[in-house]
Amino acid sequence: MTEPATPAPDATGIAPVSPPAVEAATGAPAHVRRRRPRWIIYLAMIGPGLIAANAGNDAGGIATYANAGSEFVYSTLFVMVLVTVGLVVVQEMSARLGAYTGEGLMSLIREQFALRLASFAVVALVVANVGLVVSEFAGIGAAFELFGVSRYVSVPIAAVVIWAVVVFGSYRYAERVFLLLTVAFIAYPISAVLAHPDWHEVATNLVWPHFVASKAYLLVVVALIGTTITPYMQLYQAAAVADRGVDPDEYPATRFDSVSGSIFANFVSISIIIATAATIGVTHPGVLHSAQEAALALVPVAGVHAETLFGIGLLGASALAAAVVPLSTAYAVAEAAGVERSVSRRFREAPLFLGLFTGLIVIGAGVALVPGNLIYLLLSMQILNGIIAPIVLTFLLILANRRSVLGDAVNGPRFRVVALVCVVVIAVLAVAVVVVTVGGWLGL
């Protein structure tokens, strides 16, 4: 039987989504689906891109963005515009690799690079992600403490619920739960508007660089990059696209999901900075020390209920990332080992994948119960991710540039330059942080 031809690109340069792709996304008969507007079809396929990008707005992300607004008011907004471009670039490459190869990022690294390099990438990722899992459960605990519930009660219960959603559900079921959790982020754009910031200052800082020559500013910038372009996001993006069964014919809709998800996630991030700057940074600038201080940014929205609203946003963000981070780690290790990995599998079918996911949940929840300062923990994890990110992004860039991997879908000349600049800038900032940090230890 002859295979149907792949639809040709239209005037916009985007190929129409094929009937099989629409059927997979909507479940409707082909003759009905073809009558539907394309935007409805694209919305039906939203999932991995939105989830991966918004997972970056986790407990550590909220703490980092709020701290940036509190300490430096609006001066980091231009950095966030540049970071948004970088996020769109790397998430699109990750999604493209997943769709055109049917494999996750770590699986491709294992196949395309020497064993030592692949092992180094896995170790670097696991080290960073273990710390992140701890911080996500610490975020869940901090959110419930705003409601008067002890973390010694809330964290174990949350761990069991998150574990059950993934282990006992299919990928589609888990994806719907993850998408539902992204609704919590709507509070922050509303807060940014109702905080009545100086919009002229906001606009000026968005379009014109306002850098501060200080070690603290450099650390915050790298933390912003680390929490926005986090290695687990690229790994989850590629693995989830492959796990969803997306193929090249479906990629236009998947690209829309990836790009729009990245832009929405950073719209939320920028909103958190603006809200915090307008309510805390303008009046009492300085480093945040607690979730209660960060909750002040929502006072214009909720008044005396600011802590409750902040707690809801923090809980949704932390719960989403507490599932996505260990999942991305399990995907990576299972891919590197070349064994079965899928949320839709059972323990006997994917023991390493689900066993590692379970172990990370237990470790993350357990360590999060140890007393400590949440804000310091979260900021430290974002700086660590900012340092490790260039390693994973270098592998990603090389893979997306290889015609032997992507064929005609390989990075074009212009895209290759933009991607290279993004990776180099992140790498330079990461090295600068290491130099500054070591210099501080030596008293320089």
Q: Which residue has the higher pLDDT, 164 or 341?
A: 164
Q: Which residue has the higher pLDDT, 383 or 325?
A: 325
pLDDT at residue number 438: 63
pLDDT at residue number 153: 92
- Burial (CB count <10 Å: 0-12, 13-18, 19+), residue 277: buried
The parent domain of residue 134 ranges over: 27-386
pLDDT of 378 above 90: no
Q: Which residue has the higher pLDDT, 289 or 21?
A: 289
pLDDT at residue number 78: 92
The mean per-residue pLDDT over the stretch 197-207 comes to: 92
The mean per-residue pLDDT over the stretch 234-244 comes to: 82
pLDDT at residue number 257: 85
**Spatial contact of 166 and 324, defined as CB atoms under 8 Å apart:** no
The reply to whether 99 falls in a domain is yes
pLDDT of 19 above 60: no
State pLDDT tens for residues 426-435. 788 777 766 7
Best-predicted range by mean pLDDT among 16-25, 171-180, 306-315?
A: 306-315
Q: Which residue has the higher pLDDT, 33 or 380?
A: 380
Q: Which residue has the higher pLDDT, 201 or 136?
A: 201
The reply to whether 398 falls in a domain is no
pLDDT of 344 above 50: yes
pLDDT at residue number 48: 66
Confidence of residue 441 (pLDDT cuts 50, 70, 90): low
Confidence of residue 129 (pLDDT cuts 50, 70, 90): confident
- Burial (CB count <10 Å: 0-12, 13-18, 19+), residue 11: exposed
The reply to whether 426 falls in a domain is no
Q: Indicate the average pLDDT of the chain.
A: 77
pLDDT of 49 above 60: yes
Confidence of residue 255 (pLDDT cuts 50, 70, 90): confident
The reply to whether 441 falls in a domain is no
User: What CATH number should be reported for the domain holding residue 68?
Assistant: 1.10.4160.10
pLDDT of 38 above 60: no
pLDDT at residue number 245: 79
Confidence of residue 172 (pLDDT cuts 50, 70, 90): low
pTM over 0.85: no
State pLDDT tens for residues 382-428. 566 667 778 888 889 999 999 999 998 999 899 999 989 988 887 88
pLDDT of 18 above 60: no
pLDDT at residue number 25: 46
pLDDT of 96 above 90: yes
pLDDT of 270 above 90: yes
pLDDT at residue number 81: 92
The mean per-residue pLDDT over the stretch 343-354 comes to: 78
pLDDT at residue number 61: 78
pLDDT at residue number 1: 44
Residue 294: partners with Cβ closer than 8 Å, 6 or more residues away: 62, 63, 66, 67, 70, 276, 288, 310, 375
pLDDT at residue number 369: 84
pLDDT at residue number 23: 47
The mean per-residue pLDDT over the stretch 76-81 comes to: 92
The token duo for 24 is: 């997979």
Q: How far is residue 120's CA from residue 443's CA, in Å, rounded to a whole number?
A: 31
Structural domain count, the chain: 1
pLDDT of 36 above 60: no
pLDDT at residue number 246: 80
- Give the count of alpha carbons within 13 A of 313, CB side only: 31
Confidence of residue 151 (pLDDT cuts 50, 70, 90): confident
pLDDT at residue number 2: 44
The reply to whether 435 falls in a domain is no
The reply to whether 32 falls in a domain is yes
Q: How far is residue 316's CA from residue 122's CA, in Å, rounded to a whole number?
A: 28
